[in-house]
């Protein structure tokens, strides 16, 4: 059962200096640029874990690196001694993680424990020594597993179906433990299937767009009728930033979903139209850890954070398709 929030933490002013962990990643790089564009100084941390290529992560930072108000620190958070890192920031956006459901099985699980659990614990330990900072923790809809009801509320029973989901839920519980014992202001954001430019190469939209442009066969796990609550990255950034300043349910969780629930077949049809040719698609067996459907009930985020997703699914798919087209042209 999820640990509920225990009280409300009052609204805070817009931060002047923020720490973004996982700043070279898909969502982290977009968040970093959004903050910089609005005059917030950013300390960015990334350890360049090997879930995908270092070159793409460095390219994700290309725009941020042009800002004098951006400081990049290559750092493995799991090694600790982080008090100096957070000493002069107003808010911490903790997006660093070892991502991916399918890769979290077997021998790779230790990486998930290190990068999702130990790194989070070390960051929380440092924050407990330097009070007054708010932590926004990037969690995942994977903590629900195959939810009993759709759309899914935050008080639904958490039942992860993958080691990845288990580690993200553990991170939530650690945040709640430090809130209860040390009074840390924390909120967990459960992101639902984020897509858009810079998406990781192991994620479905990236794979589908790349294969369509390269005229390659697309491998789909399952029958393609499985549905997801797709959420465009700009909407995720807006919710994440709002959590830094809003009156929040400290120690609680918020669903961040785009309200764009669709099947993989719907997505493939949209990509086929953009590509101007018929796609070659092979349907295979479902993979361990995958769930049939996801859907976010987001009234809590709307009420507390003012979160209203603004990007239609077709618009978001077009943005990712055009990004992929440009990326392939530069290779």
Q: What is the pLDDT of residues 166-208, one digit of tens each?
A: 999 999 999 999 999 999 999 999 999 999 999 999 999 999 9
**Residue 242 included in any domain:** yes
This prediction's pTM: 0.96
| Residue 198 maps to a domain | no
Model confidence at 150, pLDDT cuts 50, 70, 90, reads very high
Contact 23, 46 (CB under 8 A): yes
For residue 2, name the pLDDT band (cuts at 50, 70, 90). very low
Mean pLDDT of the chain, nearest integer? 95
Whether 178 is catalytic: no
The phi and psi torsions of 17 (rounded to 5 degrees) equal -145, 125
Q: How far apart are CA 165 and CA 319, in angstroms?
A: 28
**pLDDT for position 9:** 93
Among the residue ranges 201-205, 208-212, 284-288, 308-312, the one predicted with the least confidence is 284-288
**Better-scored residue on pLDDT, 260 or 264:** 264
Whether pLDDT at 5 is above 50: no
Q: How far apart are CA 326 and CA 64, in angstroms?
A: 19
Q: 147 lies in a domain?
A: yes
Looking at residue 330, its pLDDT comes to 86
66 confidence band (pLDDT: 50, 70, 90):
very high
| Residue 295 pLDDT exceeds 80 | yes
243 inside domain:
yes
Cα 50 to Cα 201: distance, rounded to the nearest angstrom: 12
Which pLDDT value is given to residue 289? 87
Catalytic: which of 52, 164, 178, 254? 164
Q: Between residues 213 and 1, which one has the greater pLDDT? A: 213
Does some domain include residue 50? yes
Residue 20 lies inside a defined structural domain of this protein: yes
How many structural domains does the chain have? 1
**What is the pLDDT at residue 170?**
98
CATH number of the domain to which 93 belongs = 3.40.50.720
Q: What is the pLDDT of residues 76-123, one digit of tens each?
A: 999 999 999 999 999 999 999 999 998 999 888 999 999 999 999 999
Asked if pLDDT for residue 162 goes beyond 50, the answer is: yes
Q: Is residue 46 part of a domain?
A: yes
What is the average per-residue pLDDT within 269-273? Answer: 98
User: Residue 164 is part of which domain span?
Assistant: 13-192+233-256+296-309
Q: Which of 190, 203, 201, 189 is nearest to 267 (CA)?
A: 203
249 lies in a domain? Answer: yes
């Amino acid at each position: 059962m999820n640990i509920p929030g225990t009280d409300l933490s009052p609204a805070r002013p817009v931060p002047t200096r923020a720490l973004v962990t996982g700043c070279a990643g898909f969502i982290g790089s977009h968040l970093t640029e959004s903050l910089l564009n609005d005059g917030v100084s950013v300390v960015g941390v990334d350890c360049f874990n090997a879930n995908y290529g270092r070159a793409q992560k460095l390219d994700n930072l290309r725009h941020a690196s042009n800002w004098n108000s951006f400081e990049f620190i290559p750092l493995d958070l799991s090694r600790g001694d982080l008090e100096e890192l957070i000493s002069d920031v107003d808010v911490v956006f903790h997006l660093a993680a070892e991502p991916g459901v399918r890769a979290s099985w077997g021998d790779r699980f230790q990486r998930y424990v290190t990068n999702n659990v130990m790194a989070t614990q070390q960051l929380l330990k440092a924050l407990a020594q330097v009070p007054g900072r708010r932590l926004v923790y990037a969690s995942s809809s994977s903590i629900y597993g195959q939810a009993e009801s759709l759309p899914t509320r935050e008080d639904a029973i958490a039942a992860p179906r993958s080691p990845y989901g288990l580690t993200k839920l553990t991170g939530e519980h650690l945040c709640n433990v430090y809130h209860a014992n040390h009074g840390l202001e924390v909120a967990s954001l459960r992101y639902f299937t984020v897509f858009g430019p810079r998406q990781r190469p192991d994620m479905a939209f990236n794979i589908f767009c790349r294969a369509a442009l390269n005229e390659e066969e697309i491998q789909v796990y399952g029958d393609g009728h499985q549905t997801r609550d797709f959420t465009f990255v700009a909407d995720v950034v807006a919710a994440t930033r709002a959590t830094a300043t809003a009156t929040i349910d400290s120690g609680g969780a918020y669903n961040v979903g785009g309200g764009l629930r669709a099947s993989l077949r719907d997505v493939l049809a949209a990509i086929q139209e953009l590509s101007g040719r018929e796609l070659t698609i092979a349907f295979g067996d479902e993979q361990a850890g995958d769930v049939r459907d996801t859907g976010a009930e987001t009234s809590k985020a709307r009420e507390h954070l003012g979160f209203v997703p603004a990007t239609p699914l077709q618009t978001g798919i077009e943005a990712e398709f055009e990004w992929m087209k440009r990326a392939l042209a530069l290779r």
